[in-house]
Structure 1
C-alpha cells in the first residue's frame, strides 16, 4: 500500500483537482484508490451534515466506496483557517484524532491512498498537548511520500523552493512535483519559470497542467489524468 500526501505552494493551487486527476489515472490502471482530506474549512450544511465540495469531488474519483465522513472527518462551515474555526467553536485539532481517522481509511487496504493537505505545507492546527502543531506534523508522523503542486504565478519560484526544502528538512521524500496553471491568466514566461524549477527542485517533474477553459469538471480531470507521469507513484 502506498500513502501519498498532496501539498502545494499555497491555497487555491489546485490540490483537489490534481488529487482527483491522480486518482483517476491510478484507477484507470485497475488499482484501488482511497482518498483522505483530514481537514476542510468552507462547507455547506446538507441534511444536518457539513459537506465540503472538495471532499465530494474526491469521492467521485476514488473507488473504495468511502463515505464523505470518512474522506473528510474534520469539517468547518466557515472558509477560514481551520485552527481559527476550531477555536471559535472551542475545539482543538489533535494529531491523535487525525491518526484515528486515517486508520479507518487504511482499513480499506487500497493500493494507493492520496491524502490531500489544506493550504500550504506548514498549515497551523493550533496548540495541542502543550505545543503548536501543523498539518505537516501529521505527514511526518505517517512518513508519507509527498507530491508538491506548484501554483504557476509570480512568486512561485521562491514558494516552491522553500516548500520543497521544508519537506526534505522534515525528513520526507518528495517523489515529484507538478506545475499547475490554476488561474485563467497564464503566467508570463511560463516555460522559463518551469525550466528554472526543474533546475531548482531535485525531484521528478510529473506534469505541466494548463488552465482548462472549457469542458465539465470530469472532462478536465480526465484530460489532466492523461498528462501525469505515474512512474514515481507506481514505483514508490
Structure 2
C-alpha cells in the first residue's frame, strides 16, 4: 500500500496544517519523494477565478511540492463549517469512491504520502442519505495516525480522549506531536510527561512557535510511515 500516514488533531486551530507542512518539508529536504493529500477542505478562500484551499496551498508552498490544487484536495468548500454541512449547503457531497481513487493516484506518485484530516478525528464528512465520518476514510484507506496537539492548558484531556477514541475503533497511532511548545515552560513540560505516561504513546516531536524546521531525526520520522 506504500508508505503513508494520516494526520489528525485534538480539535480545530491546533496548527495541524502548519505541522503537516513541516513534516512534508522535512522529508523533501532530505531528498525523499514526499507528497500531500486531503479529502475535504472547507473555508476555502474565494477569489475571482477559483476557490483556494488554504491548507493544501500552504503545504504545497512550504514543502515545495509543486502540485496543482486539484491533485491535492478532492473536495473544496467555500463555507467555513464542517465538511458535512458545507457539502449540504453547496450541493456537492463527498463520495468515498472518489476519495479512494484520488488517494491512490497520489500514492502512486509519491514514496511517502501524508494525508491531512479535517478538524479533529470526530468529524462528519457526509451526513445525509449516506454517512461518512472521518474515521471511515481512515479505515477504508488502511491508515495509521499521527496526532497533533497544542502544548497548553487542557491538552492532556484532549489528547487522552482522542487516543481512546482511536483505540476503541482499532485505528493505529504512531505518535503525538505537540505544537506551540516552549522550552522551560513548566506546564508544557509536564503536559508532555503526563500525556506519555497516561497514553503510553511517545511524543515524537515538539514544535515551537514559527519553527521553520521539524526537530526530529529523519529516520525516526520515516518510521511513522511504515
Do the structures match in fold with TM over 0.5?
Answer: yes
Report deviation, 1:5.
0.4
Structure 1 contact 5–114 (Cα < 8 Å) conserved: yes
Supply the distance in 2 between the matched residues of 1:188 and 1:26 (Cα, whole angstroms). 31
Supply the distance in 2 between the matched residues of 1:93 and 1:153 (Cα, whole angstroms). 34
Q: 1:49 to 1:159 in 2, by over 3 A?
A: same
Structure 2 contact 146–175 (Cα < 8 Å) conserved: yes
After TM superposition, list the pairs within 5 Å mapping 1:90-129 onto structure 2: 90-108=91-109, 110-127=110-127
Per-residue CA distance 1:203-230 (angstroms, 9 max, x = gap): 2211122223xxxxxxx333xx2x1344
In structure 2, what is the equivalent of residue 215 of structure 1? Answer: none
> In angstroms, what is the RMSD of aligned CA positions?
2.2
Q: 1:125 to 1:211 in 2, by over 3 A?
A: same
Report deviation, 1:17.
0.6
Per the normalisation by structure 2, the TM-score is 0.89
After TM superposition, list the pairs within 5 Å mapping 1:124-203 onto structure 2: 124-127=124-127, 130-181=129-180, 189-203=187-201
In structure 2, what is the equivalent of residue 46 of structure 1? Answer: 47
**Unaligned residue ranges in structure 1 (runs of 5+):** 213-219
Structure 1 contact 206–230 (Cα < 8 Å) conserved: no
Corresponding pairs, count: 222
Supply the distance in 1 between the matched residues of 2:66 and 2:104 (Cα, whole angstroms). 16
**Unaligned residue ranges in structure 2 (runs of 5+):** none
Structure 1 contact 153–187 (Cα < 8 Å) conserved: no
Aligned partner of residue 204 in structure 2, secondary structure: strand
